[in-house]
Amino acid sequence: MSQILEATPFELIGGEARVAELVQRFYDIMDSDPVAAGVRKAHTEDLSSAREKLRLFLTGWMGGPALYVEKYGHPMLRARHLPFRIDERMRDEWLYCMYKAMEQMNLETALREHLEQAFWRTADFMRNAQ
C-alpha cells in the first residue's frame, strides 16, 4: 500500500522567502490602502516588529519551521489580541489586506482558497467586539 504525502501550505507557497513576500505585501497594503485605515491605525507607526512577528508566525502556521514558537513561545493569538478592539470591520480590513496580498502573488487557486478559509476562521476567532 502506498502512502500519499500531502504538501503543506508552507511548501506549496514556496517556503520562507514566499511567506516573507506575503507578509511584506500584506503590510505594504495595510500601510497604503485607505480601505485598511482602521486596522492600520491599530498598529504602531513602525511596522517592522509586526512584519517580523507575522512572518515568523505564518511560517509555522503554514506548516514550516516553528520559528515564532522558538523565539517567543506559544503564540496565544487570542490572548495577545485581547487588548485591541477587534470587531467585524477590523477583521474584514485585515482580511482585505491578506487576500489582496495573496492575489498579488498569483497563488494557485486551490492554495489561495484554502488559505483564505483558514485566515477567515483565525481572524474571526480574534474578534472581541461587535
The predicted-structure confidence for 89-111, as pLDDT tens digits, reads as follows 999 999 999 999 999 999 999 99
pLDDT tens track for 22-36: 999 999 999 999 999
pLDDT band at 1, cuts 50/70/90?
very low
What is the mean predicted confidence (pLDDT) over 101-125?
97
pLDDT at 55 over 90: yes
Q: Which residue has the cell 496580498?
A: 101
Helices (H), 7-108: 9-13, 16-32, 37-41, 48-61, 67-72, 77-81, 88-104
pLDDT band at 6, cuts 50/70/90?
confident
Fold classification of 11-125 is: Globin-like (1.10.490)
pLDDT value of residue 92? 98
pLDDT value of residue 5? 58
Sorted by where each begins, the domain ranges of the chain are 11-125
What mean pLDDT value characterizes the chain? 94
Q: Quote the crossing angle between the two packed helices 16-32 and 48-61, to the nearest 10°.
A: 140
Reported pTM: 0.92
